[in-house]
Structure 1
Amino acid sequence: METAAVIWMIMLLAVAAAAAALAVPRREARANRHPAPPSAAERYADEVAAAADHAAGAARRSRVAWEIAQEDVDAAWAAYDAADGEARRCRAAAVFPVLRQRRTRAEIADRTRCLHRSALAACRRKELSIAQLNEVLAHRGPWNPRKHPVAQETALRAAVAEHRFAAYQAAVERERSAWAEAEQAAVALRSLRAEALAATTSAGRDLRPEDSRRAEQWSPAEPVARPANARLAVH
């Protein structure tokens, strides 16, 4: 009887130990299914990190927009420089005197049609603005259809140079505006990344390599400066 009692006791102890061993993983699983909610400091750190990531995207887009604006300035200046050179060549050719003679109605009509065709073609090529085209068609200012075709072409080339220069000035203003926006985006990004770094440290989290990297330090430096020799070729 004593032997049987010992055996029963051993069996009961084994069953109890097995039940305890099975209960521990269940308690751990239940605990894992319900993790502790993040603290206020951790939530703030997550929010600031998300804001910094959003600001990084905005800064990149602003940087790209500024670089495109710089390219537009270069292209506008090249177009003006070419138009200015053409206007200078026409003006030099117009120095030679033209014999004055009485013009017939047919000749004046022909010169008028030629002037209108040239102005319309230049406007379609975006070498003249709509306002300039209206001046030509209304024969206001230098647009006298009675003038010799050489004089008309000289006036047209001067108008093209004027239009190109106005386009260049507009491109410079757009570039300056894009530079200001890119600079503001860079400042906001640096501020948010510094704040995110401080919030992560305050929340007691270990810093990851991407958390501790420096804020983007690039700066657009300076907007495009207008060339000192920029001027209209002919008035």
Structure 2
Amino acid sequence: MIALDHIAIWSGNLYRTTIELSRLTGIGSADGGYFPGLGLGQKIISLGGGVYLEIESIVDHRMILERDPVALELERQTDSGDCFAGLCLRSDELTEIEAFAAHRGVEVSAEIAGGKALMVPGQKRGRAAHAPDFLNSWLKGKPNIYYVEGLENHSSILPPQPGTGDVVGLGVTSIELGGSEASLRSWLGELDPAELGLDIRYNGLADGLYAVGFDSTAGPQEIRLPPITLPAARSRAAQTLLSETS
């Protein structure tokens, strides 16, 4: 059964964005570590119910100098500000991930494209089977799915760092997506978006995530950001990125 797992936000400055979101929501943040092979660092803000915000920015700028495609895409996407980069689902049934991968015509992967396991001292998190590769989902404004067997080592339960916020997220209640319900169902195949248990609103604009609503100890809240830029507005270089990571 599928569930919402996390929402990726791309930022030009990991700390600025995290501080602003914590001030906006009152929810504290945790250190999410970094992807050595991607040059990306991340902070975590839990929205409750096993769902978290994954705020990412470039922390190893050698990746830019070396023309790494993921770092270059993040830099390009955040040129005009923060954006919702990815809507990430999870399932505790590997057969469900395999069926979804077959529907999308891809293989289930245990590796993050261009990267290695997330490195955080003292935390027991590692690779997770997923499909499709995150870039080939996010750059289409569509969700990918991870195999998550349980929440014992899940990023959503990382304790916030002291002083970063006292409000507690109580669970995501709604998301606003571009496109239509039909286009999402076509992408997911046999997987049913109704299983997410969310109020899903479709605004008919370009695919991607536009807003997330959630309950908290401070009351109902909503975060709204522009979605990731889609292929119709991308350069030839970004189109090449999709084919390279297929």
TM bracket (short chain): under 0.3
Q: Larger RCO: Structure 1 or Structure 2 (Cα < 8 Å, ≥ 6 residues apart)?
A: 1
Larger radius of gyration: 1
Structure showing the higher strand proportion among its residues: 2
TM-score scaled by length of structure 2: 0.18
TM-score scaled by length of structure 1: 0.19
